Chain A
Amino acid sequence: MGLNVKQRGQYVSTFRWIQVRLMETLASWVPTTPEMEAKLLFGAHVWDIAQNADALGKRTHELRLPLQHSMMPASAYVDGLLELSVIDGASQRIAGFYDAWLPGLATRYRRYLGETDLLMDAPTARIIDRMLETEARMIREANELREQLPALRLSEPDLALRLANREAAVGHVVDCTRTGVAREAA
């Protein structure tokens, strides 16, 4: 059985919470990253992520929740985001964000699309499709930057792998303990 309206609202508002946190993470890296090209990449992507959050926040209102409503994800996911946010070093930050976290999030979006009714929930699906496109472009831009400036490549790939594993290990991004929401599709 697919998701109901309440469950869709919980997913959308959880995805929004994540986007806002990712926006704040990139924003916090802007003044604290010395490398100008990496700094400018993060600054540009703050706006991309903010638009994702905004679109999700408008959708929450259509799902009987307040406008721009956010719901905190499962605590393990929040912990992972915290670990991401405190990474130091431009190459580590780029790898953690673009190689580990965004691809993991894209997998979650696709899972959601596989679980929801794409006709009944078409407005959410459209938003998620656009977010997938946006985030794919962000990853492409990060890769292009590293091609231009090899110094921004990670010398030891363990960090990205560890973060990716950590992201993937969180089974259910929606906090089931607080909401009783349906489990994410495996």
Chain B
Amino acid sequence: MNQDAQLLTMEVRGVTLRRDPAREPCFRVVHLYSELRRSVDFSYESQLEKLHREYNTETQGMEIAAQSLVDFPSAPWELRMELARQCWDESRHARLYYRRLVAKGGHKGEFPVANHEWCVACVFDSVVGRLAVQNRTFEGGTMDSMRKAVGLWREIGDPETADMIDQILADEVQHVRYANQWIRYLGRKNPSVLLKVAAAISELKRISAALRPRPGEFSINGVDLVGVPQPSVRANTEDREHADFSAEEISEVVRQQRLEELSCGKNALAP
């Protein structure tokens, strides 16, 4: 790795990550799940933590799209337009989560934050690698969890937050869709692009494994991170179709999730 790259990156548990984006001093920025609060219910504090976490996550989405505009000036203009649009979308989303956080009595910096998405996505040095990891994988997965979150917030009697998340989800579909379409298009033009995508996903798996909680690790609010039942999240097949995943890709996600549920005995009601 050259010196410039070293300045931009850091080592966490043996894997190379991009250094964190800038945050105000009121935030405590951490890198491990054991340094975060883990919300396993919908208590008042958990509600605030979820809104606070999503506020930071949407901010990262904006930062990743913006950094891609900076890092890939030779990308096709139409793709750069999609990235620019995403910056605006994620900026609005962050403001929406923050507004809701404040309305419920929360504040900026109330909980530790991790910038996992930024730190992982921005180590990839190709635009397709970044789209595959951030838009297709992270945001694709978010479509599944957000669909579930809409129902859960409604169940606890907070339709305002539920409606907000539903609108944000609709916006996120477009971010996943354009990534799918561009990866396919660029892959048809140059098949080596698909090798970069595969390499990025392989590296993502390695990083995720390294960062995953280990037995005996607890969150700062005392949750056993390995022992606690993992919430079951069903594939949001409807939005995945809107996002231009193929029928085979959707079937594969559903199959993987079922396998995971069977092997972990997951609790379908956990948030």
Contact: A33 with B70, CB < 8 Å? no
Q: A43-B90, A46-B84 are in contact. Are A30 and B77 (CB under 8 A)?
A: no
Partner of B24, one of A36, A44, A47: A36
Chain A residue numbers with a CB within 8 Å of B63 are: 30-31, 39, 43
The answer to whether B73 has its CB under 8 Å from any CB of chain A is: yes
Cα distance A30–B94 when bound, in Å? 13
What 0/1 pattern do residues 23 to 58 of A give for CB contact below 8 A with B? 110111011111110011111101111110010010
Chain A residue numbers with a CB within 8 Å of B24 are: 34-36
Q: A50-B84, A54-B81, A68-B77 are in contact. Are A34 and B91 (CB under 8 A)?
A: no
Contact: A34 with B94, CB < 8 Å? no
Chain A residue numbers with a CB within 8 Å of B95 are: 40
Instruction: Kindly report which residue of chain A lies nearest to residue B95, judged by CB atoms.
Output: A40
Contact: B23 with A50, CB < 8 Å? no
Chain B interfacial residues counted at CB < 8 A? 28
The answer to whether B167 has its CB under 8 Å from any CB of chain A is: no
Q: A31-B21, A32-B22, A33-B22 are in contact. Are A46 and B67 (CB under 8 A)?
A: no
Contact: A44 with B77, CB < 8 Å? no
What 0/1 pattern do residues 223 to 242 of B give for CB contact below 8 A with A? 00000000000000000000
Q: A23-B69, A54-B81 are in contact. Are A44 and B22 (CB under 8 A)?
A: no
Contact: B62 with A43, CB < 8 Å? yes
Chain A residue numbers with a CB within 8 Å of B88 are: 43-44, 46-48
What 0/1 pattern do residues 58 to 98 of B give for CB contact below 8 A with A? 01001100110110010001001100110110111011001
Instruction: Kindly report which residue of chain B lies nearest to residue A26, judged by CB atoms.
Output: B66
The answer to whether B28 has its CB under 8 Å from any CB of chain A is: no
Partner of A57, one of B77, B84, B87: B77
Chain B nearest CB from A137 CB (Å) reads: 13
Chain B residue numbers with a CB within 8 Å of A46 are: 66, 69, 84, 87-88
Chain B residue numbers with a CB within 8 Å of A50 are: 80-81, 84-85
Cα distance A27–B73 when bound, in Å? 12
Chain B residue numbers with a CB within 8 Å of A36 are: 23-24, 59, 94, 98, 108
Contact: B92 with A44, CB < 8 Å? yes
The answer to whether B118 has its CB under 8 Å from any CB of chain A is: yes
Q: Which of A103-135 contact B (CB under 8 A)?
A: none
Instruction: Kindly report which residue of chain A lies nearest to residue B21, judged by CB atoms.
Output: A31
Besides the contacts A32-B22, A34-B22, A50-B80, what 16 more A-B pairs have beta carbons closer than 8 Å? Answer: A24-B69, A27-B70, A30-B66, A30-B67, A31-B66, A32-B21, A34-B25, A36-B98, A39-B62, A42-B66, A43-B88, A46-B84, A46-B88, A47-B87, A50-B85, A54-B81
